[in-house]
Amino acid sequence: MPVDLNGYWKMISNENFEEYMKALDVNVAIRKIALFLKPDKDIVHDGDHLVIKTLSTFKNYNMDFYVGKEFEEDLSGVDDRKCTTIVNWEGDKLVCVQKGEIEGRGWTHWVEGDELHLELRAKGAVCKQVFKKT
């Protein structure tokens, strides 16, 4: 049985975020703003259906999907691209693959204790974020 990701999570660390944003070709002004943000995650996890909301004072991003079902993702809230996305469980990790113009793009979520871990990947850049459940 996959882990339960339900809850409200507050960011406690964010490593290598600028390199990840550079790999996505995010412009320098947006990168500078984003580096000061500590977004929260609000996750509703019901069976194979997940809604992951990334909330900040600058921009919000909502991802609504079913595990194992490919869909077109509009990343206009992130880097103004679209891609074909699929999310699957690999053991206790939720793994996303985003196919589009950015090579090696995707992410992995997993839980350790009361912490939610997120690894973001694009063009070989890896960002590691950790959130604490509130």
φ/ψ of 103, rounded to 5, equals: -70, 140
Q: For the domain that residue 40 is a member of, what is the CATH number?
A: 2.40.128.20
Cα–Cα distance measured from residue 84 to residue 98, given in angstroms and rounded to the nearest whole number: 6
Average pLDDT, the chain: 94
Number of domains comprising the chain? 1
In a domain, 112, yes or no: yes
Residue 77 has pLDDT above 90, yes or no: no
In this prediction, residues 81-110 reach a mean pLDDT of 96
- The secondary element (H helix, E strand) that includes residue 23 is helix 17-23
In a domain, 91, yes or no: yes
Length of the chain: 134
**Confidence (pLDDT) at 1:** 55
Q: pLDDT higher for 133 or 79?
A: 133
In a domain, 1, yes or no: no
In a domain, 42, yes or no: yes
Q: Which residues contact 88 (CB under 8 A, 6 or more apart)?
A: 67, 68, 94, 95
Measured in whole angstroms, how far is the alpha carbon of residue 105 from the centre of its chain? 11
Which residue range forms the structural domain that includes residue 105?
A: 7-133
